[in-house]
Amino acid sequence: MQRVHFANNISESPSPLSELSTSSFDTRPDMLQLSPADTIIFQKSNSNDLTGNVHILNVSQKALTYKVKTTAPDKYRVRPSSGTLSSMTSVNINVVVQKGQQIQPINKDKFLVMCMVLPEGQPLTNDEVSNMWKEVSANSSEVEQHRLKCAIPTGITTATINNPDMSSETFTEAGIINVLSNDISHNGMKQSVSQSQQHLHATINQLNESLNQLNQQIKAQHSLQWMSIFMFIVISIVIVYILKIEIQNSNSQYCIDK
């Protein structure tokens, strides 16, 4: 399974999910200002992903380092998940629901945005900042915490993530009615095609039966024709024979009379 992806290539220590889900956060919003302040609203993007955004601003006079954790690291891709902010600078945190994840439990997930002051002097490298987070407890008084809930608009289901071909209108009331109508229409067309196929098969069977009957009639007619021809030839032969005998008899009678 995929884990949370970190854009800054900072190595991560195991996420203390128990701290996030059970500890009482001592939030002191005097260094970071978050927008939204308490709930990440996930919306469907053009690429069919469910995405949420958190804008964080360093409102203090000192440089800060921040870090983002979640109770469900397998479900989300967070970019960036950590970094540094100079005084009065900001960054937009993008949270994307991974493909194939169940949607409805999102409302139970939570995010924790933490920050602490960077030491003055030479800027720290990513590894040095990562080591700072490894050496400090999330519940330390040096760490400022902001807890965020998750929410999704009504009507979005698991199909949002699993089916990238579905358009955004699918998740509106009109879109749902349209989809159902299309399904009903499609089913009606399938039934109509099935009935047409059955009718076509019946017609073909009738044509085959008619063709067989016609073939039998043609064969009978051919037999009758041959019989008629045979009878005509026989009768012709008989007539010719009779005529020949009559002619011979006539000639014989003529000779006697003389």
> Which domain CATH number covers 146?
2.60.40.10
The mean pLDDT value for 130-142 works out to 90
Are residues 146 and 233 located together in one domain of the fold?
no
Query: Does residue 231 belong to any structural domain of this protein?
Result: yes
What are φ and ψ of residue 82, in 5° steps? Answer: -160, 165
Provide CB contacts within 8 A for 252, sequence distance 6+. Answer: none
Whether residues 21 and 93 fall in one domain: yes
Inform me whether the pLDDT recorded for 213 exceeds 80.
yes
Cα–Cα distance, 212 to 13 (Å, whole number): 84
Q: Are residues 184 and 68 in the same domain?
A: no
Helix, strand or coil, per DSSP, at residue 113: strand
Task: Note down the domain range covering 186.
Answer: 172-258
Same structural domain for residues 149 and 206? no
**pLDDT value for 223:** 87
Residue 5 belongs to a domain:
no
Please state whether beta strands 39-41 and 50-58 pair in parallel, antiparallel, or not at all (unpaired): unpaired
**Same domain flag for 21 and 130:** yes
Residue 178 and residue 257 in one domain = yes
Residue 164 lies in a domain: no
- For residues 233 and 137, membership in a common domain is answered with no
Q: Is the pLDDT of residue 175 over 60?
A: no
The yes-or-no verdict on residue 80 having pLDDT over 80 is: yes
pLDDT of residue 202: 87
Instruction: Specify the range with the lowest mean pLDDT, choosing from 42-46, 60-64, 151-155.
Output: 151-155
Q: Please tell me the total count of domains within the chain.
A: 2
Do residues 128 and 21 both lie within one domain?
yes
Mean residue pLDDT of the chain comes to 79
**Could you tell me which residues are beta bridge partners of residue 79?**
94
- In a domain? residue 86: yes
Q: Return the C-alpha torsion angle 240, 242, 243, 246, nearest 10.
A: 160
Poorest-pLDDT segment among 23-27, 40-44, 203-207, 232-236? 23-27
pLDDT at 28: 53
pLDDT at 156 over 50: yes
Quote the pLDDT of residue 48.
85
pTM of the model as a whole? 0.53
Residue 168 has pLDDT above 80, yes or no: no
Q: What is the pLDDT of residues 15-24, one digit of tens each?
A: 444 444 444 4
Question: What pLDDT is recorded for position 153?
Answer: 79
With respect to residue 3, please indicate whether it lies within any of the assigned structural domains: no
What would the mean pLDDT of 74-81 be, rounded to a whole number?
94
Same structural domain, 137 and 30: yes
Distance CA 124, CA 110 (A): 29
The verdict on residue 8 lying in a domain is no
The Cα–Cα gap between 200 and 110 comes to 61
pLDDT 10s digits, 97-117 = 998 887 778 889 999 999 999
Look at 14 and 61; give whichever has higher pLDDT: 61
